């Protein structure tokens, strides 16, 4: 909710079709059910964000445990 309000206040929009979420942490922390439940339920408006395990940013690939 806070993100949505901030975006409206600053006249910004987000393409929820392209937005994904990744949670970084140790392998043990990544498997915790509480953290997984939170990440799996992140929403913007009516859209639940897709959870991914690997991301590529500026040519650098990373996974949830921050290995390259």
What average pLDDT does the segment 35-63 reach?
A: 82
The model's pTM is 0.61
Distance, in Å, from the CA atom of 57 to the CA atom of 47, rounded to the nearest integer, reads 23
Task: Name the most confidently modeled range: 12-16, 31-35, 40-44.
Answer: 12-16
What's the whole-number average pLDDT of the chain?
Answer: 80
Residue 58 predicted with pLDDT over 90 = yes
Q: What is the pLDDT of residue 21?
A: 86
Residue 31 predicted with pLDDT over 60 = no
């Amino acid at each position: 909710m806070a993100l949505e309000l901030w975006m409206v206040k600053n006249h910004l929009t987000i393409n929820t079709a392209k937005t994904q979420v990744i949670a970084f942490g140790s392998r043990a922390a990544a498997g915790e059910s509480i953290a997984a439940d939170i990440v799996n339920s992140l929403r913007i408006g009516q859209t639940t964000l897709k959870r991914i395990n690997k991301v590529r940013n500026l040519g650098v690939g990373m996974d949830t445990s921050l290995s390259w």
